Structure 1
Amino acid sequence: MNKFLLGGAVSALALAATVAHADQARTPPASPPATTATPKPTYGSFGFDTKGMDKSVKPGDDFYDHANGTWAKNTPIPADKSNYGAFNALDDLSRARTRGILEAAQSDPNSKIGNAYASYMDAATVEAKGLTPILPWLAEVKGVTDLPGYTRVAAKAARAGVRGPFRFYVGQDDKEPETYILSMMQGGLGLPDRDYYLDQGEKMAAIRTAYVAHLEKMLTLAGESDARARAAALMAFETEIAKVHWTQIDSRDADKTYNRMTLAELQKAAPGFDFAAFYAANGLTPASLLVAQPSAVTGEAALIARTPVAVLKDALLLSSLHAYADYLPDSIANADFAFYGTTLSGTPEREERWKRGATFLKESLGEEVGKVYVAKYFPPETKAAMDGLVKNVLAAMGRRIDGLPWMSDTAKARAHKKLAAFTPKIGYPDKWRDYAGLEIRRDDLLGNAMRSNAFEFDYNIGKLGKPIYRWEWGMTPMEINAYANFGMVEIVFPAAILQPPFFDPHADPAVNYGGIGAVIGHELSHHFDDQGAKYDETGKLNQWWTDQDVANFKGLTDRLVKQYDAYEPFPGAHVKGAFTLGENIGDLGGLAVALDAYHASLGGKPAPVIDGTTGDQRFFLGWAQVWRRNYREANLRQRLVTDPHAPSQYRTDIVRNFDAWYDAFKPTPGGKIMLSPKDRVKIW
């Protein structure tokens, strides 16, 4: 899937102000004031929270701490979060607003979103039912007696949203972007990544011990016997799967992961598993499909063939309990959270039920909620302002392409064609999803979740053979994120991210260009990062550069990899420059393009000095402000393994590559993050 996000999962993201403050700042007075004053920005006098700075830290030593250090020291991570910063507070605000929408909808017995939210909030009914709602499904899993039976149930699990041996979905064919195709990937792991099984360090060993104990506890809670031995057997099975899995670095390579084959060819390459039966169980008979990690699929198929059916069943049983834990009694949900929330991410407490309910509605009926959210909280003026910013950033990217010393004229011409082909999507879809076929019952939370998963599965699989859904969005309007989609040649910005500190209509333009302008530039630059640049102006995976362009580009990106490899948040635990390369190129290119767009917006006039700060200083401070984030250690360690984004401090400090930053802040020579001009990386 060629979709790349701004900041990773929303639940793992993060802002300086409280939700109450942010909402209050946008609540109009009950009656108009006698005189009209110029509206003030949400943060500070020009859109930046200067009180959050730590000016005792020199910009050249650590720009992140210089801009955010006091905020970082004074801002605790809430007990229900693994980290906290700019994204999270906006997510809290988004969910608080969603809560109001859902609570109002509960009074309407015909409201689908109201009934779904009511089913979630009725904790008493969930507890009273116990495990009864999931027992028929668990009985089906436990009733498997042979490999053909396992194959059929594993296929059914996929439609139910339960993790199985392989993942698959329908998406654009990277080399035929006007066509949908079935794509499949490696799967089967209960821990976040292969490294959790194979890394012999003390931290990972402790997590593995805790994981086996967790599996044992979940089996016991489900009323299963011999839980300890079964947990150990499952761990041994998953460890063997981990050995054949591809690394994160290989799995993000668009060329390596494009492997088209017929079903017969797949069966011949991986004879241990009946793929025809697996797909046929969901009504699929694909003429061809894409296999992202062929050797992993081959290895997993062989493992399945020689693994006892009892172990395969336990894998599905425990995956089912994990997938549906949040819709089951607290005995299950709390145990699941104790491992996945606390052990893996360091989060002490589960979120309040209403917050989880708002998340459930976003995942199950997101665009139905989104229609109301946009009407209430996304004014047309914001969309219009964002349209203008996007046009300015696109124009700046065009100018930067013209000035590239390393790119051939032939490639520059194609780059301009690609730029002209972009579709920006802002705020919300032009065409909303239809949920008429999704049955929601007010007294059946688990059933609602299972039917929602099946509904989404059928919607996705139903794309096969149809024209591309160009109106489709991969996020809801309530999400605090943005993304780039290579096959669609599009950049997408949901409504909820288009507010302070990312975008504030009352802030100084420099801060907005350093915030949402750089976000626009980031997503745009993804289409020209080490993977996005492999896609042409039609969205096709197709090298459109000369060989010399490719060599020149790699020379520059290798330097950025080396720069990020040197970052070491914990002794012996480094950022992986090759894994985070796409996001780092996005940040580097995005910030450069946004700065050019800001300068162009001044129309040849000098930027005003505000409170002693220059325009460029405010621009870079605006960039730093959106990356405020405090992490729990467990969460940050997990991100180093699984998140293609570098930790926020290092994303902020990418300013060290910009001549304009040195000119703006005039850092004292010898600063810790300072680079000599020859060592500063410039790509786009």
Structure 2
Amino acid sequence: MKNKTFLKRLLVVSPLLATTLLAGCHKYEKAAADEPDLISSNRDTTVAPGDDFFTYANGTWIKNHPIPASESSWSIGKEVQEEMYARLRDISEKAAKADAADGTNEQKIGDFYHTGMDTTTINRQGLQPLKPELDRIEAMKTPADVQAVIAQLKPYGVTSPAGVFVEQDAKHSDVMALYLWQSGLGLPNRDYYFNTDSRTANIRQEYVKHVANTFELMGQDAHTAQQNSARVMKLETAMAKASRKLADLRDPYANYNKMSVAELDKLTPGIDWKNWLAQMNISNVDSVIVGQPEFYKETGKLLSNASIDDWKAYLRWHLVHAYADNLSKPFDEENFRFYGTVMQGSTEQRPRWKRVLDAEEDAMGEMLGQLFVKDYFSPETKQRYEQLADNVVASFRDHIKKLDWMSDSTKQKALAKLNKINKKVGYPEQWKDFSDLEIDRSSYVRNVMRANQWWYNYNLNKLGKPVDRTEWSMTPQTYNAYYNPSNNEIVLPAAIFAVPGLKDAEADDAIIYGYVGASTIGHELTHGFDDQGSQYDAAGNLRNWWTDKDQELFKKKVDQIVNQFDNYTVLDSMHVNGRATAGENIADLGGIVIGLDAFKKTEQYKKGEKIGGLTPVQRYFLGYALGWQSHQRDERLARQILTDVHSPANLRVNGPFADVPEFYEAFDVKPGQKMYLPDSARVKIW
């Protein structure tokens, strides 16, 4: 199921370092004299702050933390993740050895981990676990058969042109609605099928080889495998041609097309949607919100006119692709060769136990989360960060009141929305119930399939029921955060507050307000008022609450930040997509200025004493940069530019800092330095 929340980061970690979590409002205790200050030791002072602040702040850390061969990137999040893995491994290994009663959390965790690590059985079984689904594909004879098989594969998470999911109705946030979204591709998005640069063209060629190699592993001869790979590429290219670009998917009005099931039938002649949805276990639905009607118009044609052999090749490939890293060694290694090495630059597989733990997290993350927060995120810690969130909200409130470009009537509505934002901190009050998830020791692939089916049914069951506004879309052990416009909420998992190597007593407020207050809390709050979030009202409905004049002024400011980031070049020739990344860039800038003003109310700022030779404001900016401490391989970076609404980490620091006057003052940035922007070119929104 697609989750259209606005995410801050893409890293996964845990609250395991809750014993070293940063304290939001407490007295700073200086570390021992022989212990270097974390912020100072990360810096590369050979780089001028005004030329490249990201490298100045994190350069020494990057030099001392090379990217492992098994990774496509390394970051502060990965550092925390290492401890998560150690503890999860301990829990899972003990559960696997325990004689736990059937149906208990311990039994499910232990059996899942056991089957994932039992490579002897996995290799012996080969494709056998997928035989029922492969037989269904082979038996297809008509377009109706194709639709039926797509419906049967849907609960197992197999990619297909039926991008069906359940989510709050964007214009009626108290109702759960059925959505159709563009889907069906094996490459990350449409641009990979059409961009003509050598890097992307090579990936296309390698993809065709990869699909053919997979067909050979399935038992086909080389000629047949190449023919079927061409069939897959032909269908996917047609779907890609009808798909919208990344930036276009950010317009909530353009991607909201509500229609009756009868109207959907007219859009896609040849598809009986009532019947097809029923085959997907979706009934009693009279309307559907279609994100991209042109995609489904093309899908209807393909389902009616493309040959059955084309669809057989396509569905065989996507079924095996969906479970390749859970299958026997040849499939796992070929999957890694393309998606790990070609796409992301990694040269060796990550340890199997880590990959099994990732799958375990996907299958039953909240089950694990309950164990974590019990020991590693106390009620006192939760309360501490709730207070910090309140402080940042208060700062944002002051910013809105002082805006010189927004009218009083719009300000009142903006303040009403801000005041209604629900702040979820640490972990959910209600945990998901996995009692009906069946896990055993018969097959790793089937365990993963049953977990996918459980999540599919869990989400479908929301149709026709009241919206559960207490639900979380992330586990507590996730190093991430999000703003959900339909709930008008920010969600801050426990893990996002952790910093490896920094004990609670060693964290001064400057670091806290930069690392947590700005890059996380302020960032997520600003998402409620970025180019997308600003289109939703206080109740979470897609509704215009701006005056025409204010909306026009806001759009001009958004265009400024779009232009700023459009002009950043990475990897010699690739440019940041300023329009696609606008929301994240707005949130970064907003978080920085809001967090800074919140920090200015602390005793540390008022005293102005230096720590490690750095002023409080200097430490604040360095604390923010700490949150983006990372580097990645060129292949991973190229993929990010084409597929991600987040700018590269260095530009999430250097870009917004160039717009903040206090940054210039704190580090004496002068004209002629690379980050310097004249006053007239600096973006100011919130």
Find the counterpart in structure 1 of residue 673 from structure 2: 671
Say yes or no: does 1:81 pair with 2:71: yes
What is the rounded CA distance, in whole Å, between the counterparts of 1:414 and 1:108 in structure 2? 58
What is the rounded CA distance, in whole Å, between the counterparts of 2:276 and 2:639 in structure 1? 32
What is the rounded CA distance, in whole Å, between the counterparts of 1:601 and 1:300 in structure 2? 57
Secondary structure of the corresponding residue to residue 493 of structure 1 = strand
Secondary structure of the corresponding residue to residue 171 of structure 1 = strand
Q: How high is the TM-score relative to the length of structure 1?
A: 0.94
What is the rounded CA distance, in whole Å, between the counterparts of 1:419 and 1:158 in structure 2? 38
Q: Note if contact 1:150-1:309 (Cα within 8 Å) is conserved in structure 2.
A: yes
Say yes or no: does 1:316 pair with 2:320: no
Say yes or no: does 1:109 pair with 2:105: no
Task: Identify the match of residue 150 of structure 2 among 150, 154, 172.
Answer: 154
Secondary structure of the corresponding residue to residue 660 of structure 1 = helix
Find the counterpart in structure 2 of residue 417 from structure 1: 416
Q: Note if contact 2:17-2:376 (Cα within 8 Å) is conserved in structure 1.
A: no
Q: Which amino acid aligns with 2:607?
A: P
- Percent identity over the alignment is 38
Q: Note if contact 2:207-2:338 (Cα within 8 Å) is conserved in structure 1.
A: yes
Measured after TM superposition, the shift of residue 274 of structure 1 is: 3.3
Q: Deviations over 1:266-298 (max 9, x none)?
A: 111121433222211022232101101111221
Task: Identify the match of residue 207 of structure 1 among 203, 210, 213.
Answer: 203
Q: Which amino acid aligns with 1:464?
A: L
Number of matched pairs: 666
Q: Which amino acid aligns with 1:381?
A: E
Say yes or no: does 1:142 pair with 2:138: yes
Which stretch has the larger CA shift, 381-390 or 647-656?
381-390
CA RMSD of aligned residues (A): 2.2
Q: Which amino acid aligns with 1:361?
A: E
Secondary structure of the corresponding residue to residue 277 of structure 2 = helix
Q: Which amino acid aligns with 2:213?
A: K
Which stretch has the larger CA shift, 595-604 or 408-417?
595-604
Q: Deviations over 1:303-333 (max 9, x none)?
A: 3322111111211111111111122111111
What is the rounded CA distance, in whole Å, between the counterparts of 1:375 and 1:328 in structure 2? 35
Distance 1:298 1:42, change over 3 A: farther
Q: Deviations over 1:549-608 (max 9, x none)?
A: 110001111010011011111222100000100000110101111111111233983332
**Where do residues 624-639 of structure 1 align in structure 2 (5 Å cutoff)?**
624-639=625-640
Q: Note if contact 2:344-2:633 (Cα within 8 Å) is conserved in structure 1.
A: yes
Q: Which amino acid aligns with 1:287?
A: D
Find the counterpart in structure 2 of residue 31 from structure 1: none
Q: Deviations over 1:214-236 (max 9, x none)?
A: 11111111113411111112112
Find the counterpart in structure 1 of residue 595 from structure 2: 594
**Where do residues 59-208 of structure 1 align in structure 2 (5 Å cutoff)?**
59-106=49-96, 107-110=98-101, 111-208=107-204
Q: Note if contact 2:231-2:313 (Cα within 8 Å) is conserved in structure 1.
A: no
Distance 1:664 1:679, change over 3 A: same
Q: Note if contact 1:180-1:466 (Cα within 8 Å) is conserved in structure 2.
A: yes
Q: Which amino acid aligns with 1:474?
A: S
Find the counterpart in structure 1 of residue 104 from structure 2: none
Measured after TM superposition, the shift of residue 376 of structure 1 is: 2.2
Q: Deviations over 1:625-647 (max 9, x none)?
A: 11111111110000000010000
Q: Note if contact 1:248-1:579 (Cα within 8 Å) is conserved in structure 2.
A: yes
Q: Which amino acid aligns with 2:123?
A: E
Find the counterpart in structure 2 of residue 32 from structure 1: none
Distance 1:413 1:141, change over 3 A: same
Secondary structure of the corresponding residue to residue 479 of structure 1 = coil
Q: Note if contact 2:75-2:630 (Cα within 8 Å) is conserved in structure 1.
A: yes
What is the rounded CA distance, in whole Å, between the counterparts of 1:368 and 1:669 in structure 2? 54
Question: Any gaps of 5 or more consecutive residues in structure 2?
Answer: 22-27, 102-106
Measured after TM superposition, the shift of residue 166 of structure 1 is: 2.2
Measured after TM superposition, the shift of residue 44 of structure 1 is: 6.4
What is the rounded CA distance, in whole Å, between the counterparts of 1:449 and 1:537 in structure 2? 39
Q: How high is the TM-score relative to the length of structure 2?
A: 0.94
Say yes or no: does 1:301 pair with 2:300: yes
Measured after TM superposition, the shift of residue 424 of structure 1 is: 1.0
Q: Which amino acid aligns with 1:512?
A: I
Distance 1:504 1:647, change over 3 A: farther
Distance 1:117 1:142, change over 3 A: same
Find the counterpart in structure 2 of residue 230 from structure 1: 228
Distance 1:44 1:559, change over 3 A: farther
Find the counterpart in structure 1 of residue 342 from structure 2: 343
Find the counterpart in structure 1 of residue 25 from structure 2: none
**Where do residues 385-396 of structure 1 align in structure 2 (5 Å cutoff)?**
385-396=384-395
Q: Note if contact 2:17-2:499 (Cα within 8 Å) is conserved in structure 1.
A: no
Q: Note if contact 1:501-1:515 (Cα within 8 Å) is conserved in structure 2.
A: no
Q: Note if contact 1:57-1:66 (Cα within 8 Å) is conserved in structure 2.
A: yes
Which stretch has the larger CA shift, 379-388 or 547-556?
379-388
Measured after TM superposition, the shift of residue 347 of structure 1 is: 1.3
What is the rounded CA distance, in whole Å, between the counterparts of 1:602 and 1:168 in structure 2? 52
Measured after TM superposition, the shift of residue 129 of structure 1 is: 1.6
What is the rounded CA distance, in whole Å, between the counterparts of 2:501 and 2:515 in structure 1? 5
Q: Which amino acid aligns with 1:169?
A: F
Say yes or no: does 1:289 pair with 2:283: no
Find the counterpart in structure 2 of residue 544 from structure 1: 545
What is the rounded CA distance, in whole Å, between the counterparts of 1:26 and 1:43 in structure 2? 19
**Where do residues 236-255 of structure 1 align in structure 2 (5 Å cutoff)?**
236-255=234-253
Which stretch has the larger CA shift, 219-228 or 170-179?
219-228
Measured after TM superposition, the shift of residue 503 of structure 1 is: 8.5
Measured after TM superposition, the shift of residue 104 of structure 1 is: 2.3
